[in-house]
């Protein structure tokens, strides 16, 4: 029985990979930076429609530091199965492939050598990626539900937990030692569905999604900047140029700091509640800088 299930899995992966390859052969090839897409301005637009943003549920993009590879998760609209997808640039042409079944939401570490997958991870090897490994007992706990873990260059982890009222936790590295994760403050862990955090490479800010009373409808994107004393500043809504009456989630900033990526589901006529489908959008990361405090006050800025 196990052998048959394994063969069925391989057949499914083969068909999906070759279906994608056939579809790609009928479309124009993608060349140049960011899959050859025209960079966005201050108004978000769909990223790589028909290639990355498709009729399937495409979520959580993550680039390697050299911007030569893009990873994201895709839920097949026909089978409801999740896959880890890669676009890789070879000789200036982008090629799509299926890495395998998705485990957690993919998030590359700033060095590009580790791919975080919730409470698991993979390491870069000479031949590709290692097998999926556990982050260890500090994170791989049955009473925690980590969907997305994001790492800064100094090793700070930010991650969510859907099993404990949708909260965010932080784990830093001090004197070379991984610190026990702690809850972020109540000004961060407020509202409903607080999840999918991202931390900047320099650990100067975090972005996450949550449904709050001051929002624009469903889940919105919020940001908190780190203050000089090390605390996290108040939660700021990214504003109505980013957030809509629909759902915005899964923020990510490209390694060069130029673009903010996120998922959006636009409400259709007659809809009052967003589904979990939608497309990947991107926008100029200047939308972040315009919210950064010019002279943050470490004593006053942690309260909503």
pLDDT value of residue 214: 87
Count of CB atoms situated within 10 Å of the CB of 56? 17
Give 86-134 pLDDT, tens digit per residue: 999 999 999 999 999 999 899 999 999 999 999 999 999 999 999 999 9
Q: How would you write the chain as a 3-class SS string? A: CHHHHHHHHHHHHHHHHHHHHHHHHCCCCCECHHHHCCCCCCCCEECCECCCECCCEEEEEEECCCCCEEEEEEECCCCCCEEEEEEEEECCEEEEEEEEECCCCEEECCCCCEEEECCEEEEEECCEECCCEECCCCCCCCCCCCCCEEECCCCCEEEEECCCCCEEEEECEECCEECCCEECCCCCCCCEEEEEEEECCCCCEEEEEEECCCCCCCCEEEEEEECCCCCECCCEECCCCCCCCCEEEEEEECCCCCEEEEEEECCCCCCCCCCCCCEEEEEECHHHHCCCCCCCCCCCCCCC
Say how far apart CA 98 and CA 83 lie, in whole Å: 7
More confident residue, 11 or 264: 264
CATH code: domain 2-289 is: 2.120.10
**Among 227, 205, 219, 237, residue whose Cα is nearest residue 304:** 237
**Among 142, 272, 125, 274, residue whose Cα is nearest residue 209:** 274
Count of CB atoms situated within 10 Å of the CB of 277? 15
Q: What is the mean pLDDT of residues 148-173?
A: 97
Give 250-290 pLDDT, tens digit per residue: 999 999 999 999 999 886 665 555 455 689 999 999 999 99
pLDDT value of residue 274: 47
Say how far apart CA 237 and CA 255 lie, in whole Å: 23
Say how far apart CA 62 and CA 88 lie, in whole Å: 12
Give 23-60 pLDDT, tens digit per residue: 445 678 999 999 999 999 999 999 999 999 999 999 99
């Amino acid at each position: 029985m196990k052998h048959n299930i394994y063969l069925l899995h391989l057949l499914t992966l083969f068909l999906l990979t070759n279906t994608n390859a056939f579809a790609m052969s009928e479309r124009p090839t993608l060349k140049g930076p960011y899959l050859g897409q025209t960079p966005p301005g201050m108004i978000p637009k769909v990223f790589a429609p028909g290639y990355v943003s498709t009729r399937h549920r495409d979520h959580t993009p993550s680039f390697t530091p050299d911007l030569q590879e893009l990873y994201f998760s895709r839920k097949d609209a026909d089978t409801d199965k999740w896959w880890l997808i890669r676009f890789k640039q070879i000789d200036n042409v982008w090629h799509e492939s299926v890495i395998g079944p998705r485990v957690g939401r993919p998030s590359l570490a700033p060095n590009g050598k580790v791919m975080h997958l919730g409470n698991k991870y993979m390491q870069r090897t000479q031949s590709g990626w290692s097998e999926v490994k556990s982050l260890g007992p500090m994170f791989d706990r049955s009473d925690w539900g980590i969907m997305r873990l994001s790492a800064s260059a100094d090793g700070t982890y930010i991650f969510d937990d859907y099993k404990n009222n949708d909260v965010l936790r932080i784990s830093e590295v001090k004197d070379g030692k991984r610190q026990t994760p702690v809850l972020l403050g109540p000004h961060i862990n407020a509202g409903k569905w607080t999840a999918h955090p991202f931390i900047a490479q320099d650990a100067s800010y975090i972005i996450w999604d949550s449904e709050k009373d001051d929002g624009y409808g469903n889940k919105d994107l919020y940001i908190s900047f780190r203050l000089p004393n090390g605390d996290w500043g108040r939660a700021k809504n990214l504003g109505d140029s980013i957030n809509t009456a629909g759902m915005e989630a899964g923020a990510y900033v490209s390694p060069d700091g130029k673009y903010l990526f996120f998922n959006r589901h636009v409400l259709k006529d007659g809809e009052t509640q967003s589904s979990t489908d939608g497309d990947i959008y991107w926008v100029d990361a200047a939308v972040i800088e315009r919210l950064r405090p010019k002279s943050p006050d470490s004593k006053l800025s942690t309260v909503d």
